[in-house]
């Protein structure tokens, strides 16, 4: 999932450099949403691992 966030971030940067503001903004927004989902799942995974370990 983090891989997709990085891909969308790269698309946003390239689009911004080429002057496509709408595409850059949309790609950056998608990358941000995917990154936050990744963070939530990562924290849940760590908590579940710590609960099982004890």
Per-position pLDDT tens, the chain of length 54: 889 999 999 999 999 999 999 999 999 999 999 999 999 999 999 999 999 987
In three state form, how does the secondary structure of the chain look?
A: CHHHHHHHHHHHHHHHHHCCHHHHHHHHHHHHHHHHHHHHHHHHHHHHHHHHHC
- The confidence score (pLDDT) of residue 34 equals 95
The structure's pTM equals 0.81
- Domain hosting 30: range is 2-53
Cα-based angle 38, 41, 47 (whole degrees, multiple of 5): 140
| DSSP class of 27 | H
Radius of gyration of the chain (CA): 15
Domain count across the chain: 1
State the pLDDT at residue 47. 96
23, 1 in Cβ contact below 8 A?
no
């Amino acid at each position: 999932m983090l891989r997709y966030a990085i891909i969308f971030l790269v698309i946003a940067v390239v689009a911004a450099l080429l002057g496509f503001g709408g595409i850059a903004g949309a790609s950056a927004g998608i990358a941000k949403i995917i990154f936050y989902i990744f963070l939530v799942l990562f924290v849940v995974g760590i908590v579940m691992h710590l609960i099982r370990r004890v």
